[in-house]
Structure 1
Amino acid sequence: MAPASQVLAPLPPHQAAQITVQLGATVRAVITARVSNTVRSAQQPRYAFDVQQADGAWSQCVSALQRSQTHRELALAA
């Protein structure tokens, strides 16, 4: 298996997939997302995704980010 930061082949535009996201040392989210944009660079492509379906861990993370203004507030929200 390739490291998380390495893409084996370019992702097709609008491709949807189930993705595991490491949100913290012990927190993982599993989401369904679709490729919405690709930026090609010298190192490797960078992708933007539209989240189509999120689990509880993802939703809690987004909620904490939306209501926190400082690192301390974010740490306390986690």
Structure 2
Amino acid sequence: MIKLNYKNIIFLQYYVSMSGRIFPKRFNSLTTRGQRYISKAIKNARIIGFLPFRYVIGNKIKILIKILIKILIRINLSIKI
């Protein structure tokens, strides 16, 4: 059985999105009590420094995708002309 505490970071990462938000219980299929335990463990891990409050990588990826789309649009427009 897996221990549910703030030290088990690999287990807690399944309940955190790429942007760093805690998934709601309807996505996790947890009970209210289980969701409360998970969220408390994630918050404790954030305070201690085991988990970041925000994942900047997700935001950088979104920005890079937008830039690439703009570049591809410009290339396609320049080729058609």
Higher helix share: 2
TM-score computed with the length of structure 2 as normaliser? 0.24
Bigger radius of gyration among the two? 2
